[in-house]
Structure 1
Amino acid sequence: MRVTNLPQAFKRALPILEKIQAAGFEAYFVGGSVRDTILNLPIHDVDIATSAYPAEIKELFAKTVDTGIEHGTVMVIDHGIGYEITTFRTESTYQDFRRPDKVEFVRSLKEDLKRRDLTINALALRPDGEVIDLFDGLADLESKTIRAVGQARERFHEDALRMMRTVRFASQLDFEIEAQTLAAIKENAALLAKIALERINVEWVKLMLGKNPKAGLADFMATGLFAYCPQFKEHQAQLESLLTIENLHLDNEAEVWTLLAACFGYRPEQGGQLVHAWKGSNELKAQVTKALRTLEAMKAGDLSPKLQYLTGSEMLAVACRVARLLGLADYSSMAVLLAYEGLPIHSRAELAVNGKDLITLLNLKPGPILGQLLDQIEEAVLNRQVKNDKLALLEYGRSQLEE
């Protein structure tokens, strides 16, 4: 097979490959970017594999960075763009199911490709567009099949995260996992406990944001991988209930965790704890907590202006989408967002007075009383008790101080 129209990202990188080849070495585009090009999907990272050793690459190019030189990877900087170039390599045993005990550089493309995880990822692309397919990856792309390269058990023992990647691709590409590969995941699911949670998190979120998350989720459950993820084993029934949701499509990471926490019956604080348990960021933890607090208010029929204000439009939209997916509340995203847009203010910065005004015009001093008065003014404006006008707010503030 030959790709007749290379993506622009490949075209920009062609001088890199051509320079390596001119020096007498082999060089190819490899991995996911090749797969996605064949599938007419947008490509992200451009990975290059070569028979040149790292030291030889560094001699060829003026600007390089040793991003992973112990594993054969050197980044070449060309016109402000970084390209990771990795030497063909083989790997020894994997005692911890994560990292090879030893990496050996080789000159053989076949030796390099046969250590990759899946046939659809073991494709190489020449600069002229010819696809090199040594493990029937093209046939698997055609049949929408996910299959391990060689013996699935060996690939998963080399890096147990590959099991999560496999079920993630079932969702992301809407492909079916081949029976022996699926059986090998089920047999070796416990090895997932050896993998850093941050790496599992990335694959899990990609699975839930995929083209067909129910396909990936069904395999995730059937193979038992879920049992080695924080707080999932005790919520097996709730996780399986996600498979009954029609049109299960999620837009962002906050939706993923808000949906899970709501499905588990968690309160807002517990949802934040779930994100924390999965090594999520503090920002994501705060977002999910806000969205869950809004969901609770929706169920109680008490979505107050103040709560809308504190939640913000982005997390209000998340809460509405999750509520709709779970059938928890009959709230229209459009109606909620229009109500939010109709609030008198959307941040304290929009108040017609600030702390300096209160200090100067009401003879206040910096301290707790000033902060409390600003809180009272902010809430009064939100509840439309007073107009967001400077004179009106100063008069309201004066009355609150007198009380």
Structure 2
Amino acid sequence: MRVENLPDEFITALPILTTITNAGYEAYFVGGSVRDTLLGKPIHDVDIATSAYPAEIKALFKKTVDTGIEHGTVMILDHGEGYETTTFRTESGYTDFRRPDEVTFVRDLSEDLKRRDFTINALAMRGNGEIVDLFAGLTDLQQGILRAVGDPKERFHEDALRMMRAVRFSAQLGFTIEANTQQAIKSEAHLLAKIAVERTNVEFSKLLLGKDAQRGLLEFAETGLYQYVPGVISEHELDIIAAATALENVRLTSDEQAWTFVVSQLGLDEAATMAFLKAWKHSNDLIKTVTNANRFIRTYKAQAVVTNWDLYSVGADLSIALSVLQITQVDFPVDQLQQAYAALPIKDKHELAISGQDLIKRGVVKPGPMMGKVLAQLEQGVVAGEMVNEPAALLAQAAKII
């Protein structure tokens, strides 16, 4: 098979391939960019595999960076672009179930491709667009099947994160995990506990954002991988989340929205939400956003009505909270709540017409805890519409509070 119209990203990189092949070495485009091109999807990074050893690559190009030279990877810099070029290699010994203990450079493409995770990722493409398919990856791509290269147990022992990649690809591509591959995930799922949480987090987040998140979540549950991730989630809870993702017009579009959706479906309160997200090693910013949005969701679900203070408290995270509520709430008044938020007298305490310094200068209050209490009451009064946000009016109200 040959790709007739190469994407611009490949055309731009062709001089790299040409330089390598003209020097007598083999060079191919490999990895996700080849797969996505065949699927008609946009591509991002272009990766190159070659029979040339790192020192030989560095001798061919003026500008290179040793990004992973111990594993055969050299970044070639060309016209403002960087191209990761990796020598064909074999790997052995995976004591941490993540990275090889030993890498051996080879000249044979087949030796390199057979160490890759799935057949759809073991495709190579020559500069003329011709596809090299040694493991029936094209057939699997056409049939929507995710199959490990060779013995799936071996592939997962080499890198246990590949099991999470399997369910993630299932969600992103809508592919079915081949029976032997799925069975191997079930039997080796316990190895996921050896993988850093941060890496598992990345894969699960991508799964949630996949076009067929329901499929990925059900595979995540069925294979038993869910038992080896932070913050215990039961198979039943996963089924509930998966069912919600299958609702009409549901498509999660950001990490913040996706994780807000998850904690909301799990029914977690504020303390449990923070503990859950910390266990997943999320950033403080994401934890703050998700906790804030979920607090609003819980308030709305409990009361079916929200106050100005509720809207003010959720602030800019309202859009995330509303998007999650829309997924499961029938006839949800999103426009009404957006308008109510837009109409708030202030949206941040810094918009108050007076400050603590103003109170001190006017002799209303001395520095200390009382000043904070007065400002808090003024803030609440303005947000509720009970006080006018003007200096004179607020000073008068402050004097009454004292």
Q: Give the TM bin, normalised by the shorter chain.
A: over 0.9
Deviation of the 1:181 alpha carbon: 1.1
Of the candidates 304, 319, 323, which is equivalent to residue 325 of structure 2?
Answer: 323
Please give the alpha-carbon distance, in whole angstroms, between the structure 1 residues aligned to 2:109 and 2:15: 20
Contact 1:316 1:336 survives alignment (8 Å): no
Contact 2:325 2:332 survives alignment (8 Å): yes
Deviation of the 1:42 alpha carbon: 1.4
Please give the alpha-carbon distance, in whole angstroms, between the structure 1 residues aligned to 2:2 and 2:353: 64
Q: Deviations over 1:344-402 (max 9, x none)?
A: 122233333344544445576655444433333322221112222343334433443xx
Please give the alpha-carbon distance, in whole angstroms, between the structure 1 residues aligned to 2:235 and 2:227: 8
Pair 1:377–1:62, CA change in 2 (3 A): farther
Deviation of the 1:173 alpha carbon: 0.3
Contact 1:20 1:60 survives alignment (8 Å): yes
Equivalent in the alignment of 2:43:
43
Please give the alpha-carbon distance, in whole angstroms, between the structure 2 residues aligned to 1:391 and 1:41: 60
Please give the alpha-carbon distance, in whole angstroms, between the structure 1 residues aligned to 2:222 and 2:31: 27
Equivalent in the alignment of 1:291:
293
Q: Please state whether the residue corresponding to 1:57 is helix, strand or coil.
A: helix
The AA in structure 1 aligned to 2:252 is L
Equivalent in the alignment of 2:18:
18
Gaps of 5+ in 2: none
Contact 2:33 2:43 survives alignment (8 Å): yes
Equivalent in the alignment of 1:218:
218
The AA in structure 2 aligned to 1:278 is W
The AA in structure 2 aligned to 1:5 is N
Pair 1:185–1:368, CA change in 2 (3 A): same
Contact 1:362 1:398 survives alignment (8 Å): no
Equivalent in the alignment of 2:237:
238
Please give the alpha-carbon distance, in whole angstroms, between the structure 1 residues aligned to 2:171 and 2:251: 11
1:339 aligns to 2:340 (yes or no): yes
1:304 aligns to 2:303 (yes or no): no
TM-score of the two chains, using structure 1 as the length reference = 0.92
Contact 1:380 1:386 survives alignment (8 Å): yes
Contact 2:256 2:289 survives alignment (8 Å): yes
Contact 1:25 1:52 survives alignment (8 Å): yes
The AA in structure 2 aligned to 1:277 is A
TM-score of the two chains, using structure 2 as the length reference = 0.92
Equivalent in the alignment of 1:129:
129
Q: Please state whether the residue corresponding to 1:82 is helix, strand or coil.
A: strand
Q: Please state whether the residue corresponding to 1:115 is helix, strand or coil.
A: coil
Equivalent in the alignment of 1:275:
277
Equivalent in the alignment of 2:60:
60
Deviation of the 1:14 alpha carbon: 2.2
Gaps of 5+ in 1: none
Deviation of the 1:294 alpha carbon: 0.5
Contact 1:115 1:155 survives alignment (8 Å): yes
The root-mean-square deviation of aligned C-alpha atoms, in Å, is 2.1
Of the candidates 258, 264, 284, which is equivalent to residue 266 of structure 2?
Answer: 264
Equivalent in the alignment of 2:196:
196
Of residues 126-135 and 383-392 in structure 1, the stretch that sits farther from structure 2 once superposed is 383-392
Of residues 122-131 and 112-121 in structure 1, the stretch that sits farther from structure 2 once superposed is 122-131
The AA in structure 1 aligned to 2:23 is A
Q: Deviations over 1:293-322 (max 9, x none)?
A: 111210222522222122123x32322333
Deviation of the 1:172 alpha carbon: 0.2
Q: Please state whether the residue corresponding to 1:231 is helix, strand or coil.
A: coil
Q: Deviations over 1:236-258 (max 9, x none)?
A: 21112223332353222123222
Equivalent in the alignment of 1:164:
164
The AA in structure 1 aligned to 2:243 is T
Contact 1:153 1:188 survives alignment (8 Å): yes
Question: How many residues were matched structurally?
Answer: 398
Equivalent in the alignment of 1:372:
373
Q: Deviations over 1:261-298 (max 9, x none)?
A: 22222111211110100111111111121112111210
Of residues 75-84 and 173-182 in structure 1, the stretch that sits farther from structure 2 once superposed is 75-84
Pair 1:8–1:347, CA change in 2 (3 A): farther
Deviation of the 1:32 alpha carbon: 0.5
The AA in structure 2 aligned to 1:176 is T
Please give the alpha-carbon distance, in whole angstroms, between the structure 2 residues aligned to 1:297 and 1:175: 38
Q: Percent identity?
A: 53
Pair 1:24–1:334, CA change in 2 (3 A): farther
Pair 1:28–1:390, CA change in 2 (3 A): farther
